[in-house]
Structure 1
Amino acid sequence: MQPDGAGPASDEAEPEHPFAPFIRTLGRGPGRSRALTREEAREALRMVLAGAAEPIQVGAFLMLLRYRGEDPEELTGLVEAAREAVGAGPAMDGGGVELDWPSYGSGRTRGAPWFLLAALALARAGHRVLMHGSNAFTSGMPVLEALPLLGLRAVRCRAEALEAVGVSNFAYLPLRAMSPRLDELLHLRSFLGLRSPINTVARLINPANAPAGVDGVFHPPYIAAHLAVAQRMARPRLLVVKGGGGEAERGPAKPVAAHLMAGPEVEVLSLPALRETRAAASDFLGVWQGRVRDAHAEGTVIGTISLGLLAMGRAATPGAADARAAEIWHGRFG
């Protein structure tokens, strides 16, 4: 006998949610689970971004992806869905952006975003740079806080970013402006306690379809995954380094291995230490304006400019890139 107000008893099975097969594929268990195919991953993230998956399913999905490891085919499908969501499909106009610069670092030891000064110096030298990102979990100065110090502001959408690059050769596009839903997924880290593959996906969106990109990762194993996705998506050029706090930034005191994909080939470039220096707190704006001399900060900026030049193919060798980078830095107000 049913309590008052209760619905009729039924032995009929509840219909399966359309998103459930993706979770089942990932989580069946040893010997039975597998990574999603490129097509499956693309459709799964499309559903998540469209709000067609329940919150509990989204959390399970992201953590299963993380637990299994980042599979290149799977990641490629996820990136394709993310690119669709931000309007970066193959038919869209890239606005003449030369260099894609993702900034999603969240290191606990980060300080000022010296890589931002490198991007701005490249812009002043005539190179069109689009930086995009979210630094919500960094212990250092986020890009969004650094921009006003330099008299700049973030743009509010992809179209405005392309317009700004056309005018001043630089724009910073926050992930939350590109796609609020992707930004929400990235911020689930505070609930789940771990980063998810969305962090990698965001780095690889390339919202302006730039022919070259410079990317930083926190853990070296991610380098191969980034390059593999770029190859599958036929991106012309991508340079990836293990950078400070996961940013595309080159410290001057140690040699750096830069992994450069140009077409189907990947070359590992050995970048030498530039100078023996030690990091210290410094005046971010003062270094940019030239009022403060800081060997470590300036070496970091010059070394990072060099990464951008190598990514774009604007220097034939690391030595030539370093020399040109120093010229760009010292001539930024010329």
Structure 2
Amino acid sequence: MNLVTPPEHPFAQFVRMLGKGKRGARNMTRDEAREAMGMLLDDKVEDSQLGAFLMLLRHKEESAEEMAGFAEAVRARLQAPAIQVDLDWPSYAGKKRHLPWFLLAAKALASSGVRILLHGGGPHTAGRLYSEQVLTTLQIPLCRNWQEVEQALNAQQLGFIPLGDWMPQLQRMIELRNILGLRSPIHSLARILNPLGARCGLQSIFHPGYQAVHREASQLLGDTAVVIKGEGGEIEINPDATSHLYGTANGENWDEDWPALSAQRHVKPDTLEPAHLMAFWRGEVADDYGQLAVLSSMALALRALGEPRDVAFSRAEQIWAART
């Protein structure tokens, strides 16, 4: 019989911080969150600790300081070259009710010279259409490393890189969704990472009231960002609803409400057919909802880059008319 008490695992302290009951549990500090995420990324935790940590964090809901610390740990381990990017455009939710019109918005903006990095975590929830599944149809380059990203941005001002190709540890955590039964906070974290330090990061957070937390995390990181409750969780303005923009730039926050663009709600399509997107791009079919979603999402991106709302909408219409 072994009578020696085994030492506590170094990561146990972080599980205890989150799970020590209503009175004992607390938020991690930014430094603690950075250390905890560093251990996760360096594979210094047991699988049971990983699952417990993610679900306790999900139940508590992560703070802005925790998210900033997590992001700093990821950025410290990135080995990305200096690549000039205008917009960081994460895509992790997938679409369920409507097609991913935001991809046409990004494609049109790129054709006008705006350099956009798209990144996502792959299909992880049944019944949703993910960006990765329509890249070929939309002729958006799929990049597997930073060199290919740079080539795509230089050639087309647009490229998509899967999370698993630049931070596989986070991809593994995302894929635990179907084992744990819930999305983990990694889905939120991926949206604020801005791996190439783009001029501005766009973020869509569907969870009510959590947009301001994301903005605060980006502010702590010194990033320029705009956060919205996008349609289906993606960075796409819903033209049938009022959209609130949570912006931060140069350490200062700003807010705007964009009214609905349609007097009546559009009927969602029976099925999501990616080919319809390219037919719309080529002008072969009309789609009132798609037209409004694309133009307003383009305007959102231009607003994020500093243009006033009215100017952004005007420019969006010009860019869409001149798309190639």
TM-score range, shorter-chain basis?
Answer: over 0.9
Following superposition, the deviation at residue 106 of structure 1 comes to 4.1
Cross-structure match for 1:122: 109
Do the aligned residues in 1 keep the contact of 2:94 with 2:130 (CA within 8 Å)? no
Following superposition, the deviation at residue 133 of structure 1 comes to 1.0
The counterpart of 1:102, out of the listed 63, 75, 90, is 90
Gaps of 5+ in 1: 1-8
Cross-structure match for 1:4: none
The 5 Å alignment of 1:35-74 reads 35-74=27-66
The counterpart of 1:188, out of the listed 176, 182, 185, is 176
Specify the SS of the correspondent of 1:12. Answer: coil
The 5 Å alignment of 1:280-295 reads 280-281=268-269, 283-295=276-288
Whether 2:64 is the aligned partner of 1:76: answer no
Q: Which amino acid aligns with 1:69?
A: E
Whether 2:167 is the aligned partner of 1:179: answer yes
Whether 2:291 is the aligned partner of 1:303: answer no
RMSD: 1.7
What is the rounded CA distance, in whole Å, between the counterparts of 1:68 and 1:223 in structure 2?
Answer: 16
The 5 Å alignment of 1:149-160 reads 149-160=137-148
Do the aligned residues in 2 keep the contact of 1:144 with 1:153 (CA within 8 Å)? no
Specify the SS of the correspondent of 1:31. Answer: helix
Do the aligned residues in 1 keep the contact of 2:18 with 2:56 (CA within 8 Å)? yes
Specify the SS of the correspondent of 1:332. Answer: coil
What is the rounded CA distance, in whole Å, between the counterparts of 1:16 and 1:41 in structure 2?
Answer: 19
Pair 1:66–1:140, CA change in 2 (3 A): closer
Pair 1:177–1:279, CA change in 2 (3 A): farther
Specify the SS of the correspondent of 2:246. Answer: strand
Map Cα deviations across residues 12-65 of structure 1 (whole Å, 9 max, x no partner): 101111111111122122222211111111111111111110000000111111
Following superposition, the deviation at residue 159 of structure 1 comes to 3.2
What is the rounded CA distance, in whole Å, between the counterparts of 2:170 and 2:146 in structure 1?
Answer: 14
Of residues 197-206 and 20-29 in structure 1, the stretch that sits farther from structure 2 once superposed is: 20-29
Whether 2:313 is the aligned partner of 1:322: answer yes
TM-score by length of 2: 0.93
The 5 Å alignment of 1:10-21 reads 10-21=2-13
What is the rounded CA distance, in whole Å, between the counterparts of 2:140 and 2:256 in structure 1?
Answer: 33
What is the rounded CA distance, in whole Å, between the counterparts of 2:139 and 2:220 in structure 1?
Answer: 39
Cross-structure match for 2:151: 163
Following superposition, the deviation at residue 266 of structure 1 comes to 1.6
Pair 1:103–1:274, CA change in 2 (3 A): same
What is the rounded CA distance, in whole Å, between the counterparts of 1:192 and 1:51 in structure 2?
Answer: 19
Cross-structure match for 1:262: 249
Specify the SS of the correspondent of 2:134. Answer: helix
Map Cα deviations across residues 268-322 of structure 1 (whole Å, 9 max, x no partner): 1121323346144361110111111111111100010011001111x22x22211
Pair 1:168–1:153, CA change in 2 (3 A): closer
Do the aligned residues in 2 keep the contact of 1:216 with 1:247 (CA within 8 Å)? yes
Specify the SS of the correspondent of 1:42. Answer: helix
Q: Which amino acid aligns with 1:305?
A: M
Cross-structure match for 1:241: 228
Do the aligned residues in 2 keep the contact of 1:106 with 1:138 (CA within 8 Å)? no
Cross-structure match for 1:5: none
Do the aligned residues in 2 keep the contact of 1:75 with 1:201 (CA within 8 Å)? yes
Gaps of 5+ in 2: none
Map Cα deviations across residues 246-286 of structure 1 (whole Å, 9 max, x no partner): 11101223321111112222221121323346144361110
Do the aligned residues in 1 keep the contact of 2:141 with 2:158 (CA within 8 Å)? no
Cross-structure match for 1:25: 17
Specify the SS of the correspondent of 2:118. Answer: strand
Following superposition, the deviation at residue 138 of structure 1 comes to 6.1
What is the rounded CA distance, in whole Å, between the counterparts of 1:127 and 1:252 in structure 2?
Answer: 23
Do the aligned residues in 2 keep the contact of 1:259 with 1:266 (CA within 8 Å)? yes
Whether 2:216 is the aligned partner of 1:225: answer no
Of residues 125-134 and 98-107 in structure 1, the stretch that sits farther from structure 2 once superposed is: 98-107
Do the aligned residues in 1 keep the contact of 2:93 with 2:130 (CA within 8 Å)? no
Following superposition, the deviation at residue 182 of structure 1 comes to 0.7
Name the % identity.
38
What is the rounded CA distance, in whole Å, between the counterparts of 1:140 and 1:319 in structure 2?
Answer: 33
Map Cα deviations across residues 210-255 of structure 1 (whole Å, 9 max, x no partner): 02111111123220111111111111x2111111111110122332
TM-score by length of 1: 0.90
Do the aligned residues in 1 keep the contact of 2:94 with 2:131 (CA within 8 Å)? no
